[in-house]
Amino acid sequence: MIPLCRAPRGTVDVLPEEQPYWGHVYHTATRLAKLYGYSRIDTPMFEEASLFVRGVGQATDIVQKEMYVFQDRGGEMMALRPEGTANVCRAYIQHGMHNLPQPVRLYYWGPAFRYDRPQAGRQRQFTHFGCEAIGEDDPALDAEIIELAWRLYQELGITDLSLQLNSIGDPNCRPRYLAALKAYYEDKLGRVCPDCRARFQTNPLRLLDCKVEGCQPIIAAAPPFTDCLCQECAKHFQELRSYLEALAIPYTLNPRLVRGLDYYTRTVFEIQPPEQAAQNTIGAGGRYDGLIEELGSRPTPAIGFATGVERVIANLKRAGVPMPAPARPAVFVAYQTAAARSAAVRLASELRRAGIAAVMAVGGRSLKAQMRQADATGVLYAAILGEEELATGTVMLRRMEDGQQERVALQDACQRLKANA
RNA sequence: GUGGGCGUAGCGUAGCGGUUAACGCGCCAGGUUGUGGCCCUGGAGAUCGAGGGUUCAAAUCCCUCCGUCCACCCCA
């Protein structure tokens, strides 16, 4: 029996006191995206399930055990999007964006869904901000995306992150590498963990990021992908590195960095906070030169990046980045007697019309109780309407900070408050 | 899917076999003659996660389920 009044497992309510973090991340992210020439795109939160099966990869955990799939009333198999890249690529194809000047630079912000067991840094509904640059394989574009990501965190105020970088080749050189990796592991299977024995069969690349202690020495001595890259991929990677160095973006070469989605080629990167927490990658991305073709269009190179907003916010808190105080209304309109209520309603309305945020006392409480509310609301001024004010067409303006108050003519109230608030 | 910790008022906690379950914060109302923050007084609010069992007696012990947190898997 699931309690009725409880958010579904793995989902959260973002309460008013959390909103400053969300506003900060949202405004920083969208401002930066525009600064780099990216345009906003919004895609549906659900799509034909097969889009993700093809796009993300049949063999991935995301598709095999984490996708929210459902049959709609027309019998179509749909899925809540587990990430944003497949949607954006679908939109690129559907709207013939290959006719636009390439690359097409797009950014998005919105929820994604994965049916996981929740834990620290992992929810079933989470928020992705992402950028995609489609239609160009120039490593300068890789550098642009990485710089955008890096700068995002810097401007947000998280400065102790590390950038992990690797290249996982393309369809030319990856089979060669996988063969080398498997050959290396062949005679060591007896010494690795059971998970790794399974990975050897299903997803050999994942062997490289096993966390089991006993597997670490074997991973450390495994051949790095960068030794097996074909000439084109090696050149691409080398150029990217030279750009990152020119941009003074510090990165760590991590030959063990692999990604869980099938579509990645060549460049892959992750951005992580210093602690070795479990779910610690706050942003990641890479090149996916084969995805558009896999979805049925012409071969089109592309690179993208996405960050988990909830994880970003967790890190803002961890790093103690101060947030601006949430906006509070400027004025609380209180009244003494029932006779003054109508005047109070009108005053509150006029204040708002003048652009002054105002809340009015409701519920017919005592003036004392109204003042308590005014205080709790955190307003700058209380506007009090009593019998005297009513009789003289005035209002008492009380500055909450120090209790100073003055009586002004009703018609001057807006101007007076505007000057002081 | 697997493993571990935890579930007592809105929040944070105490109580850990025995009369009407306690405290802090918060909330509401008062502290006379039109007004907040401090202080004082009073009040509302908990079927002690749910169901079953042990016992004369269970919030307290046992089992099951649910929820939650953390970890694995995997990922943002």
Nucleotide nearest residue A395, measured CA to C1':
B34
Architecture label for domain A16-173+229-318: 2-Layer Sandwich (3.30)
Nucleotide nearest residue A306, measured CA to C1':
B76
What residue has its CA nearest to the C1' of B51? A1
Q: What's the CA A313/C1' B68 distance, rounded, in angstroms? A: 21
Spatial separation of the C-alpha atoms in residues A44 and A81, rounded to whole Å: 8
Nucleotide nearest residue A56, measured CA to C1':
B75
What residue has its CA nearest to the C1' of B67? A2
Q: Is A239 exposed, middle or buried (0-12, 13-18, 19+ CB in 10 A)?
A: middle
Q: What's the CA A286/C1' B26 distance, rounded, in angstroms? A: 48
**Pairing state of beta strands A302-308 and A381-385?**
unpaired
Q: What's the CA A375/C1' B24 distance, rounded, in angstroms? A: 22
Nucleotide nearest residue A212, measured CA to C1':
B72
The top-level CATH class assigned to A331-416 is alpha beta
Q: What's the CA A8/C1' B19 distance, rounded, in angstroms? A: 41
Q: What's the CA A114/C1' B53 distance, rounded, in angstroms? A: 39
Nucleotide nearest residue A278, measured CA to C1':
B71
Spatial separation of the C-alpha atoms in residues A374 and A382, rounded to whole Å: 7
Q: What's the CA A64/C1' B52 distance, rounded, in angstroms? A: 38
Q: What's the CA A94/C1' B2 distance, rounded, in angstroms? A: 42
Nucleotide nearest residue A375, measured CA to C1':
B36
What residue has its CA nearest to the C1' of B76? A308
pLDDT in tens, A323-339: 988 888 999 999 998 88
A363: left (phi over 0), alpha (psi -120 to 50) or beta: left
What are the boundaries of each domain within chain A?
Answer: 16-173+229-318, 331-416
Q: Contact at 8 Å (CB) between A71 and A270? A: no
Burial of A333-354, coded b for 16+ CB within 10 Å and e otherwise, reads bbbbeeebbebbeebbebbbee
Strand B bases contacted by the protein (CB, 7 Å): 1-3, 26-31, 34-37, 50, 66-76
Nucleotide nearest residue A379, measured CA to C1':
B36
Nucleotide nearest residue A259, measured CA to C1':
B75
pLDDT in tens, A200-224: 887 788 888 787 878 888 888 888 8
Q: What's the CA A375/C1' B39 distance, rounded, in angstroms? A: 17
Beta bridge partners of A129: A109, A307
What residue has its CA nearest to the C1' of B37? A375
Q: What's the CA A395/C1' B37 distance, rounded, in angstroms? A: 22
SS (H, E, C) chain A: CCCCCCCCCCCCCCCHHHHHHHHHHHHHHHHHHHHCCCEECCCCCEEEHHHHHHHHCCCCHHHHHCCCEEECCCCCEEEECCCCHHHHHHHHHHCCHHHCCCCEEEEEEEEEECCCCCECCECCEEEEEEEEEECCCCHHHHHHHHHHHHHHHHHHCCCCCEEEEEECCCCCCHHHHHHHHHHHHHCCHHHCCHHHHHHHHHCHHHHHHCCCHHHHHHHHCCCCHHHCCCHHHHHHHHHHHHHHHHCCCCCEECCCCCCCCCCCEEEEEEEECCCCCCCCCCEEEEECCCHHHHCCCCCCCEEEEEEEHHHHHHHHHHCCCCCCCCCCCCEEEEECCHHHHHHHHHHHHHHHHCCCCEEECCCCCCHHHHHHHHHHHCCCEEEEECHHHHHHCEEEEEECCCCCEEEEEHHHHHHHHHHHC
Residue A187 confidence (pLDDT): 86
With a cut of 70, list the residues of chain A below it in pLDDT: 1-3, 260, 276-277, 421
Q: What's the CA A111/C1' B47 distance, rounded, in angstroms? A: 38
Nucleotide nearest residue A1, measured CA to C1':
B66
Q: What's the CA A304/C1' B70 distance, rounded, in angstroms? A: 32
Residue A3 confidence (pLDDT): 62
Q: Contact at 8 Å (CB) between A153 and A285? A: no
What residue has its CA nearest to the C1' of B50? A1
A244: left (phi over 0), alpha (psi -120 to 50) or beta: alpha
User: How many Cβ atoms sit within 10 Å of the Cβ of residue A412?
Assistant: 12
